[in-house]
Amino acid sequence: MAQKQENWKWCSKCACIFFAGDAVCRANNGVHDLSGSAMYAISYQSTAPGQNKWKWCKKCQVLSYTGNGVGTCQAGGQHDVSSSGDYHLPSTGGGQTPWKWCHKCQGLAWQAAPCTAGGNHDFAGSGQYQICMNGEPRAQASIGQDEWRWCKNCQLLCFDGKTSCAAGGSHISAGSGNYAISFAQQAANTQDKWKWCNKCYGLAYSASASDGVCPRGGTHNFGGSGNYAVLLNVPAAAGQQDKWGWCRHCQQMWYTGNGAGKCPSSANGGHVKDGSGAYVLSFA
C-alpha cells in the first residue's frame, strides 16, 4: 500500500490544496491563529547582535531559547530544533518591545497566555527583547528572516510559511476536509511528479516546462519535497473527492467545483482547467 501524508487542506480563497498540518497551538488545540499579526524578521547571521541560542521547533513552529535545555513542545514531548538555525534576539535597536522569555516553556511570548508547561507564561528572570516588525528597523530586517508572526491565542512568536494565498493574506482552510496524498509508487491510474513548494506550501506539478508562478514571488521551489502521486481519470470511490484539476498557469492542484479561485499568474485572475486531467483526492 502506498505511503500517504495527511494534513493537506483546501483553501477557500485560492481554491488550491496546500500543506497545513504542522503548527500546533495549545491555546485552542489546533493551528496557530495569526490573523492580525505583523510580520517579524529575526536575525540568524553569526555576526548579528543580540542573544543567540534561540531556535525554531519544526513540530510547533515556535521560537524558543535553548540555552537552558529544550523546552516543552505544544505538539507533544520536547521541542525538536534539529533543523533550526541559530537566531539572535536584541534588547536594543528600535524594534517592537516588550517580547519576553517564559522560563517554563522557553518560548518567546508577548503576554501571559496559556503555557505548554501549565498555567500561563511566566516571565520571571526575563529581559525585554526587541524584534524587527514590518521591515523596521531596516538594519535588523536586512540580516533577518521574515515570515515570523505573533499568535493571538498563545501569544508566542511562530514561523508562518503558510501566508501565501494568491488572494492575499493567509490561506483559509475553514470547512476543508483533511486530505491524504500518496508518495509515488508503481500504481495504476496515478500521475507522479507532483511536489510541495517550500515557499507557498502548495502542491504543484513539477514536470511542466515551467515550475509555475508562486504566490510568494518567482516560481515554485520544490527543494525538500517528496514525489507525490495523484489518482487520475478514475471515478471517485468512498472516501475520495473528484473535481480536482491542474492549472496550466501556476501548475497547482485546485478544486474546480466551486468557481475559478485566484491564480497568481492567470490573466483573468482565476485558475484554468484547460488541458487538465480529472484528478481524485482521498480524505484522511
Greatest distance between any 2 Cα atoms in the chain? 61
SS3 117: coil
Number of H helices, E strands in the chain: 1, 20
Confidence at residue 37, expressed as pLDDT on a 0 to 100 scale:
85
CA distance 129 to 145: 16
Q: Give pLDDT tens digits along the chain (284 positions).
A: 458 888 888 989 889 998 865 567 877 667 788 878 888 999 988 888 999 999 999 888 899 999 998 888 888 899 999 989 999 999 998 999 999 999 999 999 999 898 988 899 999 999 999 999 989 999 888 899 888 889 888 899 988 766 678 888 778 787 888 899 999 876 889 999 999 998 888 999 999 998 999 988 899 999 989 999 999 999 999 999 999 999 999 999 999 999 999 999 866 689 999 999 999 999 86
Cβ pair 59, 75 in contact under 8 A = yes
SS3 159: strand
CA distance 82 to 262: 36
Instruction: Tell me the one-letter amino acid at 71.
Output: G
State the residue for C-alpha cell 475559478.
260
Cβ pair 77, 38 in contact under 8 A = no
CA distance 208 to 250: 10
pLDDT tens digits for range 69-88: 888 888 889 999 998 999 99
Cβ pair 140, 23 in contact under 8 A = no
Cβ pair 270, 260 in contact under 8 A = yes
**Residue 80 DSSP label:** -
CA distance 84 to 112: 26
